[in-house]
Chains A and B, each alone.
Chain A
Amino acid sequence: MGVPTDLRYSKDHEWVRVDGDGATIGITEYAAAQLGDVVFVELPDPGSTLDQFGTFGVVESVKAVSDLFAPVAGEVVEVNGELAGRPELVNEEPYGAGWMLRLRIADAAQLEQLLDAPAYEQLISET
């Protein structure tokens, strides 16, 4: 299972792709595999603000219902509307079409609290 090197990761298994002051957020392939087939994703409304490590939504799989945690604080600019009809995208392309939301980052310094790819790989190999 590959861990893309251009992303940052939270210990709660979310990834962040930074682009200027914007960030795209999703859950990792490891998280998607642990959850099993995702059947429903609940996301916040655009315009809402998220705290770092606060919950931003819920992902439901055939196994469990789990909270989603924001790896960085910011304002929600866009959510992935595709997931409403095709939640399986989270399993199929967790780092691509299965993305969940785009944020305007409130404080870029928070990114320093996240893991890089080798550190995240280390984390999932320990569990």
Chain B
Amino acid sequence: MGVVGERLQPSLFERSRPGRGGGKIPHPPAGALDRLPAGARREQPPALPELNEPEVVRHYVNLSQLNYAVDTGFYPLGSCTMKFNPKLNEWAARLPGFATLHPLAPDEVAQGTLELLWELEGALAEIGGMRAVSLQPAAGAQGELTGILMIRAYHRDRGDTDRTDVLVPDSSHGTNPATATMAGFRTVTVPSARDGGVDVDAFRAALGPRTAAVMITNPSTLGLFEKRIGELLEAVHEAGALAYMDGANLNAILGRFKPGEAGFDVMHFNVHKTFSTPHGGGGPGAGPVGVGERLVPYLPEPRVLREPDGSFRLERAGERATSIGRLRSYAGNTGVLVRAYAYIRAHGASGLREVSDDAVLAANYLKHRLRDTYEMPYDRPCKHEFVASAATIKRRTGVRTLDIAKRLIDHGFHPPTIYFPLIVEEGMLIEPTETESLETLDAFAEALIEIAAEAERDPALVREAPHAAPVRRLDEATAARQPNLRWRPMAGDTMPCPD
């Protein structure tokens, strides 16, 4: 059984034929090469692949058609929120006034973009119940770092320098402890309660004069709303610590729960999750950060300011001495922020609430459809995603969650997130998002139910899946242990690889 399927094609190096070419590149003027120092010149021309233009175009177009994307099918990747990216957002981001603005353009000619950024800050502050927002961070993880650096600056400013610990629940995203470490803190992991929620008593016991912050995702990575959040945040503040809200799951609570009003001091927004901008690969990202009153002085610079005459300008370097400084060049990744703004304005307040309500409804519907086939370790209504477990199927048939995920590819669906959160055995985290039709949700549920039946009937069929994908089961362990990161010529008369 080969790993490489028929639909994969040879690389450009293998397709190359000496002397073949595409566009006409002007020859350099006579003697141009002589102007280069001898030591900087190649002894031989580089072994670049030689092909004509249609061959190159077909190569990449055919490769692109092997891809599975949210524009080609259902993509229920839990925690990642692979929601559809409305094309209206793309139209807005391509408007020449936004798309062609030079990042160093003076404020006078950037008024439209600055006004949009200022309004977006206001909209995010309203949505999060926060006092102010910075759009600078280039991703959610950088937003986390920004938030924790502001908390560090807050404690230092007060001369409260013994606070070395950041508390996180054991269901937290891996970026939370990574952020704490990057900011010079020690991470203390607090186990979850049996119902999957944060264990308020365990947090109380862990809180103390050394606690700088707690980082909480609400709803949690299990897709469960933290019902005792108010109580928890009160205890955090009593201990003199601040509370960070990981906004990864904000898409479940729009218009229903404002983290700032619940007592969170700082949060980040994942615009690619909640506000439908493309994920990595769709261009640079953004992870705006909202803060409550206490952290406003520490916001990164430059902030977008509105002058008394109604014009807008960027804060000047050093204008606000308490700022933690710059996190990103210029005003952040504005292209993706324009898309987020377009999404917010297209929906309005009531529309955004409906987005969350529909995402929650879709997740609970799928959970209900699958509950007789897969275990639901946390048997209570979920928010926008839920964890199902194949632990019983594995014990009975030897078929693992990994196998089920691979078999879903044969059934035409992108697999859900598997083995995350780590605290669920044989877990799969399923997040349908709000944009899928009832027919799509039903087809996905039926595929998962059918695969469970296949596991009983013909376990090898599931264990050896996928059968219909461009590549079969890959050997992940060998790929990680002995990574082969460069194409090399196989043998014979193929082109040599450039070294």
A residues engaging B (CB < 8 A)? 37, 39-40, 60, 62-65, 87-88, 127
B422 near A62 (CB under 8 angstroms)? no
**Smallest CB–CB gap between A97 and chain B, Å?**
16
- Within 8 Å of chain A (Cβ to Cβ): is B480? yes
A-B CB contact pairs (8 Å), 5 listed: A62-B477, A63-B419, A87-B481, A88-B477, A127-B425
Asked whether any CB of chain A lies closer than 8 Å to the CB of B493, the reply is no
Q: Which residues of A contact B174 (CB under 8 A)?
A: 65
Cα-based distance from A37 to B402 in the complex (angstroms): 13
CA distance A63 to B480 in the complex (A): 11
B419 engages A37 (CB within 8 Å): no
Contact status A39-B419, CB under 8 Å: no
Given the complex, which residues of A lie within 8 Å of B422, measured CB to CB? 64
CB of B157 within 8 A of chain A? no
B419 touches A88 (CB 8 A): no
> Known pairs A37-B480, A60-B480, A88-B477. 8 more at Cβ < 8 A?
A37-B476, A39-B477, A39-B481, A40-B480, A40-B481, A62-B476, A62-B477, A63-B419
Closest to B174 in A: A65
B residues near A65, Cβ cutoff 8 Å: 174
- On chain B, the residues within 8 Å of A63 by CB distance are 419
- Which residue in chain B gives the minimum CB-CB distance to A66? B422
What is the CB-to-nearest-CB distance from A82 to chain B, in angstroms, rounded to a whole number?
13
Contacts of A39 in B (CB 8 A): 477, 480-481
B381-424 near A? 1/0 per residue, CB < 8 Å = 00000000000000000000000000000000000000100100
Type the 1/0 row for B418-452, where 1 means its CB is closer than 8 Å to any CB of A: 01001001000000000000000000000000000
Q: Which residues of B contact A88 (CB under 8 A)?
A: 477, 481
Task: Report how far A64 CA is from B423 CA in the complex, Å.
Answer: 11
B82 CB to nearest chain A CB (Å): 21
Residue of chain B at shortest CB distance from A91:
B477
| Measured CA separation A40–B480 after assembly (Å) | 8
Residues of B within 8 A of A87 (CB): 481
Task: Give A92 Cβ to nearest chain B Cβ, in Å.
Answer: 12
B420 to A, closest residue via Cβ: A64
Could you say which of B174, B419, B477 has the most chain A C-beta atoms within 10 Å of its C-beta? B477
Rounded to whole angstroms, the CA-CA distance of A63 and B421 in the bound complex is 11
- The docked-state distance in angstroms from the alpha carbon of A88 to that of B481 is 9
7 A-B pairs closest in CB distance? A37-B477, A39-B480, A62-B476, A63-B419, A39-B481, A62-B477, A64-B422
**Which residues on the A side are within 8 Å of B419 (C-beta)?**
63-64
**Nearest CB of chain A from residue B477's CB, rounded to whole Å:** 4
